[in-house]
């Protein structure tokens, strides 16, 4: 239903004289003769006439007000139903997301248990490998002791050479069980970048140890050098154990970020004075909690985000609250972005001749100058008198002029208008 009061630009409690004056002003501004290039001028002129026909008659106006109240009540009821339906839908979606989050948490716990089992298995493999290395080291030591005991005898030179050859032949049996540390890492972890890096690290450590052993060989006897080389091999077996433990700890430390709970959307009702004062206003959530919404650099329709103030669900990150700013209606002022609009009625003579007057603003009365030949709907800007914006500046107060006739007809003005329209006659 079209709002007839809005068509004429008057309040709902406007009197008959104000409605008549508004109709005359509107009819003059939208008259087809004055708007020949506007194809919708006839339609708008007829709409203004129909609105005036209804509102000037007390009975028709009363009937219209009753019908309008019923329509508004139905619209409010529909809005409430839509809000309830939206709340139910939000709750349903929140339950579905909570269910999915629970399933995700269970899956993560299963993966952690699997990783723990893999760690235990790897530790067992490393422990068995270390035990085998220790046994091999013991065998090598026994073989080396037997070789040394045999070497202390005084056999012929040929037999000594043969004994040395026997010890040399038995020496490979004392080494690792046919597998290098690099091959062990590749067998356990596969040919991955991490395994390659671990093998390269072990290789560098073995090369360093080999260089140290080579320096020691230069100062010791040949047979002691063989024993030292054999004894140094088991120490490198323990490097994979440390590597396995560090990799398992690193894998267990990587956890996915928790899923976020649904956000809440509310409306914050504010006044123009609140926006000018830049103070925070309270807003009550559905669960009864009260939050403060800051009003720094905002206006009608802006959305303020309150982080981690929304739903709190188990195993999920807390959602946010999004507060939409809604400015309450004011009799004198209307918010337009960061500007404030107001209406200033002026008489016909002041519109024609111009004048100095005052206009009310939210900060108090301000002196302005009305230019000569000012029409209705002409706007005068008062810069820096509006709302604070998000760039550190302020909007303007927009003063809309409304030409208003006298309450009672004036014969001189009537004669002058008749002469202007019909011409001078005797």
Distance, in Å, from the CA atom of 378 to the CA atom of 8, rounded to the nearest integer, reads: 17
**Which pLDDT does position 13 carry in this prediction?**
86
Condensed to tens digits (0 to 9), the pLDDT of residues 29-51 reads 888 777 878 888 888 888 888 88
Choose one of 221, 253, 285: the last residue of a domain. Answer: 253
Residue 405 lies in a domain: yes
Residue 48 buriedness (CB in 10 A; 0-12 / 13-18 / 19+): buried
**pLDDT (mean) for 258-275:** 91
Q: Are 200 and 185 in contact (CB under 8 A)?
A: no
**Which pLDDT does position 60 carry in this prediction?**
87
In this structure, the answer to whether residues 169 and 280 fall within a common structural domain is no
CATH number of the domain encompassing residue 299: 2.60.260.20
Which one has a higher pLDDT value, 282 or 103?
A: 282
At 162, is the secondary structure helix, strand, or coil? helix
**pLDDT (mean) for 302-309:** 93
Which one has a higher pLDDT value, 160 or 279?
A: 279
If one counts the domains in the chain, the total is: 3
Q: CA 343 → CA 337, 397, 399, 403, 409, distances in Å? A: 17, 10, 6, 10, 23
Residue 214 lies in a domain: yes
For residue 312, the enclosing domain spans: 263-328
Condensed to tens digits (0 to 9), the pLDDT of residues 212-245 reads 655 555 555 545 545 444 444 444 444 555 555 5
User: Would the pLDDT of 334 be above 90?
Assistant: yes
In this structure, the answer to whether residues 223 and 139 fall within a common structural domain is yes
């Amino acid at each position: 239903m079209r709002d007839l009061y809005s068509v004429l630009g008057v309040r709902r409690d406007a009197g008959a004289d104000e409605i008549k004056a508004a109709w005359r002003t509107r009819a003059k501004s939208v008259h087809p003769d004055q708007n020949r290039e506007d194809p919708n001028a006839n339609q708008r002129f007829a709409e203004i006439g129909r609105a005036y026909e209804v509102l000037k008659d007390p009975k028709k106006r009363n009937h219209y007000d009753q019908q309008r109240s019923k329509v508004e009540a139905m619209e409010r009821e529909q809005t409430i139903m839509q809000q309830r339906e939206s709340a139910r839908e939000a709750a349903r979606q929140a339950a579905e997301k909570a269910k999915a989050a629970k399933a995700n948490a269970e899956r993560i716990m299963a993966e952690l248990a699997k990783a723990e089992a893999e760690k235990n298995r790897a530790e067992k493999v490393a422990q068995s490998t270390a035990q085998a290395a220790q046994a091999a080291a013991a065998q090598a030591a026994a073989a080396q002791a037997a070789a040394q005991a045999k070497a202390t005898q005084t056999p012929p030179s040929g037999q000594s050479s043969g004994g040395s050859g026997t010890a040399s032949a038995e020496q490979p049996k004392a080494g690792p069980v046919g597998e290098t540390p690099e091959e062990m890492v590749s067998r356990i972890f596969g040919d991955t970048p991490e395994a390659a890096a671990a093998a390269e690290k072990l290789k560098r450590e073995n090369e360093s140890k080999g260089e140290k052993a080579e320096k020691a060989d230069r100062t010791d006897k040949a047979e002691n050098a063989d024993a030292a080389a054999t004894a140094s091999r088991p120490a490198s077996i323990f490097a994979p154990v440390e590597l396995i433990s560090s990799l398992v700890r690193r894998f267990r430390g990587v956890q996915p970020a928790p899923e976020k709970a649904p956000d809440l959307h509310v409306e914050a009702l504010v006044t123009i004075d609140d926006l000018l004062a830049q103070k925070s206003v309270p807003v009550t959530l559905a669960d009864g909690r009260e939050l403060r919404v800051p009003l720094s650099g905002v206006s009608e329709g802006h959305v303020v985000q309150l982080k981690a103030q929304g739903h709190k669900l188990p195993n999920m990150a807390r959602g946010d609250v999004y507060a939409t700013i809604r400015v309450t209606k004011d009799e004198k002022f209307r918010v337009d972005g960061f500007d404030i609009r107001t209406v200033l009625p002026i008489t016909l003579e002041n519109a024609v001749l111009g004048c100095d007057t005052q206009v009310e603003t939210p900060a108090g009365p301000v002196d302005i100058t009305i230019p000569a030949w000012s029409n209705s709907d002409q706007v005068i800007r008062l810069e820096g008198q509006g709302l604070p914006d998000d760039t550190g500046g302020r909007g303007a107060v927009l003063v809309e002029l409304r030409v208003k006739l006298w309450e009672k007809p004036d014969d001189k003005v009537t004669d002058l208008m008749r002469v202007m329209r019909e011409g001078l006659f005797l």
